[in-house]
A and B are shown apart, each in its own frame.
Chain A
Amino acid sequence: MVKQEREIGNRPDNTAFTQQRLPAWQPMLSAGIVIPGFVLIGLAFIGIGVALFVTSRSIQVLEMDYTGVEPTSPCFRCSDPDVKNCVCNLAFNIDTLFKGPVFFYYGLSNYFQNYRKYSVSKDDDQLSGDLDNFESPSDTCSPYETVGSVPIVPCGSIANSMFNDTFKLYQIVNGNEKLVPFDGKGIAWWTDYNVKYRNPSVTPLKNAFNNTVKPISWPKPAYELDTSDAANNGFINQDFLVWMRTAALPDFRKLYRRITEGDYAKGLPAGNYTLKIAYNYPVLSFQGRKMVVFSNVSWMGGKNEFLGIAYLVVGSMCVFMSIVMLIVYAKFKFPEED
């Protein structure tokens, strides 16, 4: 025995880890957990679904296509690519108060902002104000990199294709057009405005753009995007920021303006309105559509019936499954012991 005790050099350690005896929680899909679990999930989902659905219903949305494909459309005239500086008036009327704050979006469909080559076609360094990249934009911007040998700033397809229809909304009050003030501040993400996009620290801003050209499709250079507000120019122009945040799906909306001021702070009162659209942006060539959307929001954001319905469906399916499982369990439960 003495010998045995001495020669235990190879004996493995007797620990819970090496012997695979670690204390462990061993959950099992027992009926007592699964069926009530399903019921709970189901009920919770139905609850959420109802809440979402009701909320979504309470949100007002006014959506108008102004592509001008149909000859009856007020913008039909403008949809001809040969017509320049065309303005079309889109008249509509609101029956009841459109509760504020009202958000005004433009929407594009069949527009592949998520096309890979398109979505990479920008120069992040340039857009964050790096002057070196003003002189020599990144290759990713190709073919909107240079004109001849002069660099384009901001370069790339995304910037070049920036949405350039402009809108003015008038309420018809006693036959007169009353301008509904638009608020264009803070419509872009805070991080985009403050961190991601930066103008070069050159004053005046215009000087930074010496020896560069504006994007081919732009009527004005970047430092003159907003003539009314000097701070809203260059790369931190709100509309530009909104455009640069590319959409995930080919049908998308982007925020254009908020309606929060003056008489319209509470919303758009019932009445007739005219939307004057400076129709510049060509989409018909690729069967694209343009639209404008008025909407208000709730705690869950904009109108979104999908979520509410999906929650209701999933919730009721969970409840249904729990019933099925209960029946199966009651009929076929295998003996717990034998």
Chain B
Amino acid sequence: MTGYMETTQESARDKLVGEKERHVKANARDYNDKFSYADNHIKTSKYNVLTFLPINLFEQFQRVANAYFLVLLILQLIPEISSLSWFTTIVPLVLVLVITAVKDATDDYFRHKSDQQVNNRQSQVLIGGSLQNEKWMNVRVGDIIKLENNQFVAADILLLCSSEPYGLCYIETAELDGETNLKVRQALTVTSDLEDITKLMDFDGEVICEPPNNKLDTFIGTLYWRDNKHPLDNEKMLLRGCVLRNTEWCFGMVIFAGLQTKLMQNCGRTQFKRTSIDKLMNTLVLWIFAFLICMGVILAIGNTILESWSGRNFQVFLPLDEFQNSAVFSGFLTFWSYIIILNTVVPISLYVSVEVLRLGHSYFINWDWKMYYSQTDTAAEARTTTLNEELGQVEFIFSDKTGTLTQNIMVFRKCSINGQTYGDVYDEFERKVEITEKTACVDFSFNALCDRSFKFYDGSLVEAIKLEDPAAQEFFRLLALCHTVMPEEKSEGHLVYQAQSPDEGALVTAARNFGFVFRARTPETITLCEMGRAVTYQLLAILDFNNVRKRMSVIVRNSQGQIKLYSKGADTIIFDRLDPSSEELMYTTSEHLSEFAGEGLRTLALAYKDLDEDYLDVWMKKLLFASTVIENREDQLAVLYEEIEQDLKLLGATAIEDKLQEGVPETIACLNLADIKIWVLTGDKLETAMNIGYSCNMLRDDMNEVFVISGHTLLEVQQQLRSANEHILGLSRVGSAGDEKANMLADDSVFEETIIAEYALIINGHSLAYAMEPQLEHVLLDLACLCKTVICCRVTPMQKAQVVELVKRHKRAITLAIGDGANDVSMIKTAHIGVGISGQEGMQAVLASDYSFAQFRYLRRLLLVHGRWSYFRMCNFLCYFFYKNFAFTLVHFWYGFFCGFSAQTVYDQWFITLFNIVYTSLPVLAMGLFDQDVNDQNSLRYPSLYKPGQQNLLFNKRQFFLCTLQGMGTSCLLFFVPYGAFSVLVKEDGSHFSDQQAFAVTIATSLVIVTSVQIGLDTHYWTAINHFFIWGSLTVYFAVLFAMQSDGMFGVFSSIFPFIGAARNCLSEKSVWLVILLTTVVCVVPSLAVSFLRVDLFPTLTDKVRHLQRFRNKQGPQEQNLRRVRRTSSRRSAYAFSHQQGYGELITSGKNMKESTVSSACSPGRTPHSPTWIENMLKRKNEVSCISDERTGAPERSSRAERFNSTPTGLNLSLTNR
């Protein structure tokens, strides 16, 4: 998919080289035509009917293997060296090419189809004074088009006006960046009133803007209209690929069309990942190639010697051509002839077969029922089909936390109101009851507007509300008022909240269920339904949340005219700003907070403050002023906010559970048993991360030591790392000498093995930045590898990728990164294997990933079952494949010594042609696709079975050497046993029989039988398909053999099938069968004995499990008893942040603007899409670069960003430029 995009794009880019800036005039096709901009016709397909063959062939021959065979083919056409007929190479080559071409053609056909579908979408274009339906492909730059709700945007257009007030419109950008939330675009004020056709017809503005590029979040341009200049930015653009939502219609002017749209420009190159086996295979093919040349040289020397000694004299019977008179030259020709003959050691079908296998394995992943998540109806998907066997070799897993380990579903669990905790359930003996599915939840039926899915178990809180406890009421009022959630009342009483972060949603939902229903909001009011009464608050200001402030506040005036400031935020922040009167409550609440955090809950402190009118007036004026200044606006606002958020009165605290995904601790435990190291890389706070670590069983109380690295300088970090290292290595000596020694020991990888004690390393992003410096990275890596658990918290997306890169670079291990959000994309792309969780945070991670599924726990099955099988199958496949080809080809080498080094072939040319592609391809494919040494249940039950993959045991250079050696041995026996027999072989009727064709048929038949027997021995899991293929291949061999050597075939093509009758004469002889039997047994028995002795003397775990499995099968199925991993509930004090991803609600200049405009134009029915929210959205869009930082919750972003070497711009690029 990406490949073709590159080419088409490059051609598009080439055209644009000259374009420095773009001039587009509305409604002026003639004018715009001068510039020959791309039209809106997109072509993602690569070929058409005519160009398919040349282009596809050209591409295919760029592959080394294909080119190699092409060269061979050309060599074969030179008569002097042609030792094989052209068809021996061309038939397999054509077959390989055809298979690939068919695949490419199918892909391209679907692309054509989708192109056509897209190009033929209808769009309303303003032509000649009226709206006309046009196909997308006919839309031109400069056209004005109308979009209706839920339509895809046809091109990159400048928004001119819309059905909504102020020229606003809403779009969903899921196709562009994967974010599913709505975004807001707003037209220029001057164009927003062009609401009818005639006005639009007269619109003749000219846009001068940047040339096409792939930056999704910037646009620079100017609109020249009516002698005025209007600056344009990205907020006025609707990009192709977006969908118009919640907007009846809008008009826009096409700026970029077709391939020049930002969407198309963005379909860029993705890094092509290759597996380690791929790389090994390439090396091995080179080795084989060298080996081939060696054999060629040996035989050529043999030929030269023979020619110069005696061959010359044989000229009595075989006169040589004149140019061959030199023995050396004859040797030279022989060399090439032998290269041609022996070319089959580099099997032409290898690459195709490997691709077929991987495709099959991918399908098995896609088909796996046990990795299907019914709740979201998502099946696992292998998005890359080329990495499967590497899944069986993973040593390091880098996991995101939020959305990956956790569900990213926040549940309001507990609260502390005025020094009283709610949320725990006690039985009659005052003992805490563990909450399970069966625990009775509180009945919220008194509240008609409650959310039925909300569950709370502690009835006392409802009692308190019903008793109108003022603190409790104020508590929930705060929760209902202080947020940025948008309500949507689809039908009466059916409320849907659109929350920015799940935390906020959980809190507002809690308030809703406890009788403080947030019902509606306008820019200046918030309507609650408090215990059934509708109450409207005037919203005076929203003091936005951001990651420096870590709190948000609202200032509201209630119906009694009281002005209140409600504030919620991180406990430490709120506590710092409390009124002294709350001090006592603060201590109690603080205790509760520790308790909550200890249970892994995310906490938030709530406080309020009464404001008096005069003070507020002054403050509002200052705010107004501050929000209009240009310079340091943010800082000035922050100061203002700080000023008013003082002397707060504490209300209490909330505790939200960040629910772990199902089966996470079990999965982690199981993967740990498979020697897979799991590192958690999260943007979350240290304490939150640790909590999750404890709840995932990655951290345990019985661990020897948990090292927390949080230094602020390089030296500090170095010191901490070293001391941790020393601690582990048991070296207490301090000093430079000791240091050196510790380092030396730490470098010693053998030493790692001796560490039995369990350690954990927790490092924050700040320290990580230092620890990743070149001089420390080894220390860090050594330490990290000594630890059982590594958690990196508060890391930026860039750092995630860097950590992966570090391990990848130094450990030579296969890494897997798993995540669900945009901030994991860089890590997913960096790791050998990227896994995306198709979860809550949009599609970006999935789009960048190689595999995707819905739940973290499927990782276990993906690795331990599919990965292991894939690796196992691929390795066996490769071993056998090399064995087979060596056995097949080297016979020619041995024969060389007995045919005067004349490059005579042993086999019939047809046999050489068909051996790899017909006689032996299917059984080995069946083995590669279906073989199982251990079934899936046992693979999961014995995670240690995974270890051979990590250690690369099943296919490595040694294995390769062994299997080629076996192949050589077989070829040797295949030649010399018939050689011994044939020197004096006579038929039963006395006729001579030692002719070349009989010899060829005998060896060929032996070879096919030996390889079939060998594949039979290598197959562990004989399904019906294996049987069919193995027996079928043998049958086909004999059928083809007799058919090709039949009278009929000879009658038709006498010179192509010269082996007439050889099979009949040969295979009717008992002695030939005796030779074949002997050869087969001699070739197979040694390897059989060796493998039996190996299993007996040095049984691997696999062998043991196989035995067990067999034993069990005999006994019948047994109960699965999967060990449940005990969850330790340890008390850790942690203070989670409220907004995990809180983009700020900024009410600055925007607020003022709205106040002036909203009052005049806001219609009551349109409240859900209030400008407040719009402004927020706009703001958010501007701050796209902060997403990453804020998600990490890094507190002092501004000060740290530079030092982290991951500036917002850099992050921004990594997030969006894909």
Give bound CA distance, A128 to B1050, whole Å.
10
Shortest CB-to-CB span from B338 to chain A, Å, is 11
Q: What 1/0 flags go to B299-326 for Cβ under 8 Å of A?
A: 0000000000011011011110100000
Give bound CA distance, A36 to B930, whole Å.
29
> CB distance A20 to B988 under 8 Å?
no
Stretch at the interface among B371-379, B555-563, B801-809, B912-920: B371-379
Q: Which residues of B contact A187 (CB under 8 A)?
A: 991
> CB distance B986 to A295 under 8 Å?
yes
> CB distance A112 to B379 under 8 Å?
no
Q: Which residues of B contact A304 (CB under 8 A)?
A: 981, 984-986, 1071
Query: Residues of B within 8 Å of A, CB-based: how many?
Result: 101
> CB distance B900 to A112 under 8 Å?
yes
Give bound CA distance, A195 to B1049, whole Å.
11
Q: Which residues of B contact A181 (CB under 8 A)?
A: none
Q: A41-B1081, A103-B986, A114-B902 are in contact. Are A252 and B994 (CB under 8 A)?
A: yes
Stretch at the interface among A3-11, A147-155, A204-212, A229-237: A3-11
> Which residue of the partner chain, among B375, B983, B1078, contacts A251 with CB atoms under 8 Å?
B983
Q: A248-B996, A301-B1069, A307-B981 are in contact. Are A24 and B903 (CB under 8 A)?
A: no
User: Is the CB of A88 closer than 8 A to any CB of chain B?
Assistant: no
> CB distance A249 to B986 under 8 Å?
no
> CB distance B367 to A13 under 8 Å?
yes
Chain A residue at minimal CB-CB distance from B995: A245
> CB distance B900 to A250 under 8 Å?
yes
CB-contacts of A317-338 with B (<8 A): 317-318, 321, 324-325, 328-329, 332-334, 336-338
User: Is the CB of A26 closer than 8 A to any CB of chain B?
Assistant: yes
> CB distance A249 to B979 under 8 Å?
yes
> Which residue of the partner chain, among A22, A27, A52, A314, contacts B1024 with CB atoms under 8 Å?
A22
> CB distance B1097 to A332 under 8 Å?
yes
Give bound CA distance, A296 to B988, whole Å.
10
> CB distance A11 to B1111 under 8 Å?
no
Query: Residues of A within 8 Å of B, CB-based: how many?
Result: 103
User: Is the CB of B369 closer than 8 A to any CB of chain A?
Assistant: yes
Q: Which residues of A contact B378 (CB under 8 A)?
A: 10
User: Is the CB of A89 closer than 8 A to any CB of chain B?
Assistant: no
> CB distance A301 to B1061 under 8 Å?
no
Give bound CA distance, A4 to B377, whole Å.
8
Give bound CA distance, A139 to B1074, whole Å.
40
User: Is the CB of A157 closer than 8 A to any CB of chain B?
Assistant: yes
User: Is the CB of A124 closer than 8 A to any CB of chain B?
Assistant: yes
User: Is the CB of A292 closer than 8 A to any CB of chain B?
Assistant: no
Task: Pick the most buried of A23, A125, A253: most chain B CB atoms within 10 A of its CB.
Answer: A253
> Which residue of the partner chain, among A28, A34, A300, A332, contacts B1106 with CB atoms under 8 Å?
A28
Q: What 1/0 flags go to B886-915 for Cβ under 8 Å of A?
A: 000000000000111011110000000000
> CB distance B1060 to A253 under 8 Å?
no
> CB distance A325 to B1054 under 8 Å?
no
Stretch at the interface among A72-80, A168-176, A265-273, A279-287: A279-287
Shortest CB-to-CB span from B313 to chain A, Å, is 4
Shortest CB-to-CB span from A207 to chain B, Å, is 23
Q: A11-B369, A48-B1074 are in contact. Are A29 and B987 (CB under 8 A)?
A: no
Q: What 1/0 flags go to B370-391 for Cβ under 8 Å of A?
A: 1010110111000000000000
Give bound CA distance, A321 to B1091, whole Å.
13
Give bound CA distance, A11 to B1000, whole Å.
53
> CB distance B992 to A333 under 8 Å?
no
Q: Which residues of A contact B379 (CB under 8 A)?
A: 10-12
User: Is the CB of B1110 closer than 8 A to any CB of chain A?
Assistant: yes
User: Is the CB of A191 closer than 8 A to any CB of chain B?
Assistant: yes
> Which residue of the partner chain, among A22, A24, A297, contacts B986 with CB atoms under 8 Å?
A297
Shortest CB-to-CB span from B615 to chain A, Å, is 52
Give bound CA distance, A34 to B318, whole Å.
53
> CB distance A196 to B317 under 8 Å?
no
> Which residue of the partner chain, among B311, B317, B1026, B1097, contacts A157 with CB atoms under 8 Å?
B317
Give bound CA distance, A195 to B1064, whole Å.
13
Give bound CA distance, A4 to B317, whole Å.
85
Shortest CB-to-CB span from B1003 to chain A, Å, is 9
Give bound CA distance, A329 to B1058, whole Å.
52
Shortest CB-to-CB span from A265 to chain B, Å, is 14
Q: Which residues of B contact A57 (CB under 8 A)?
A: none
User: Is the CB of A31 closer than 8 A to any CB of chain B?
Assistant: yes
Q: Which residues of B contact A252 (CB under 8 A)?
A: 983, 992, 994
> CB distance A128 to B990 under 8 Å?
no
Give bound CA distance, A139 to B1055, whole Å.
13
CB-contacts of A1-57 with B (<8 A): 4, 7-14, 18-20, 22-29, 31, 34, 38, 41, 45, 48, 52
Q: A286-B316, A332-B1097, A334-B1096 are in contact. Are A116 and B368 (CB under 8 A)?
A: no
User: Is the CB of B1107 closer than 8 A to any CB of chain A?
Assistant: yes
Q: What 1/0 flags go to B965-990 for Cβ under 8 Å of A?
A: 00000000000010111111111111
Q: Which residues of B contact A332 (CB under 8 A)?
A: 1096-1097
Q: What 1/0 flags go to B477-497 for Cβ under 8 Å of A?
A: 000000000000000000000
Give bound CA distance, A114 to B999, whole Å.
11
User: Is the CB of B405 closer than 8 A to any CB of chain A?
Assistant: no
> CB distance B367 to A19 under 8 Å?
yes
> Which residue of the partner chain, among B991, B1096, B1099, contacts A328 with CB atoms under 8 Å?
B1096
Give bound CA distance, A186 to B990, whole Å.
10
Q: A249-B983, A300-B1074, A301-B993 are in contact. Are A18 and B369 (CB under 8 A)?
A: yes
> CB distance A328 to B898 under 8 Å?
no
Q: Which residues of A contact B980 (CB under 8 A)?
A: 306-307, 310
> CB distance A25 to B1074 under 8 Å?
no
Shortest CB-to-CB span from B1006 to chain A, Å, is 13
User: Is the CB of A101 closer than 8 A to any CB of chain B?
Assistant: yes
User: Is the CB of A255 closer than 8 A to any CB of chain B?
Assistant: yes
Give bound CA distance, A317 to B310, whole Å.
40
Q: Which residues of A contact B997 (CB under 8 A)?
A: 245
User: Is the CB of A60 closer than 8 A to any CB of chain B?
Assistant: no
User: Is the CB of A192 closer than 8 A to any CB of chain B?
Assistant: yes
> CB distance B1061 to A101 under 8 Å?
no
User: Is the CB of A121 closer than 8 A to any CB of chain B?
Assistant: yes
User: Is the CB of B1021 closer than 8 A to any CB of chain A?
Assistant: yes
Q: Which residues of A contact B992 (CB under 8 A)?
A: 105, 242, 245, 252-255
Q: A23-B1023, A253-B994 are in contact. Are A116 and B988 (CB under 8 A)?
A: no
Chain B residue at minimal CB-CB distance from A48: B1074
CB-contacts of A180-228 with B (<8 A): 186-192, 195-196
Shortest CB-to-CB span from A56 to chain B, Å, is 10
User: Is the CB of A258 closer than 8 A to any CB of chain B?
Assistant: yes
User: Is the CB of B102 closer than 8 A to any CB of chain A?
Assistant: no
Q: A105-B992, A124-B1058, A255-B992 are in contact. Are A306 and B83 (CB under 8 A)?
A: no
Q: Which residues of B contact A136 (CB under 8 A)?
A: none
User: Is the CB of B113 closer than 8 A to any CB of chain A?
Assistant: no
Give bound CA distance, A324 to B1099, whole Å.
17
> CB distance A297 to B1061 under 8 Å?
no
Q: Which residues of A contact B1047 (CB under 8 A)?
A: 191, 195
Task: Pick the most buried of A4, A304, A321: most chain B CB atoms within 10 A of its CB.
Answer: A304
Give bound CA distance, A251 to B980, whole Å.
12
> CB distance A301 to B1092 under 8 Å?
no
User: Is the CB of B52 closer than 8 A to any CB of chain A?
Assistant: no
Q: A12-B367, A192-B1061, A307-B981 are in contact. Are A41 and B1085 (CB under 8 A)?
A: yes
> CB distance A26 to B993 under 8 Å?
no
Task: Pick the most buried of B368, B983, B1106: most chain A CB atoms within 10 A of its CB.
Answer: B983
* 20 further interface pairs, Cβ-Cβ under 8 Å (given A28-B1110, A245-B997, A300-B1074): A8-B374, A9-B377, A12-B372, A27-B1022, A29-B1088, A29-B1091, A29-B1092, A112-B314, A113-B996, A114-B899, A116-B905, A139-B79, A143-B321, A161-B318, A249-B898, A250-B900, A286-B313, A321-B1085, A333-B1096, A334-B1099
User: Can you list 17 A-B contacts with CB-CB less than 8 angstroms, sorted by A residue number?
Assistant: A12-B369, A25-B1022, A48-B1074, A112-B314, A115-B904, A116-B902, A139-B79, A142-B321, A195-B1047, A195-B1051, A196-B1058, A285-B316, A297-B986, A304-B981, A304-B1071, A306-B981, A338-B1104
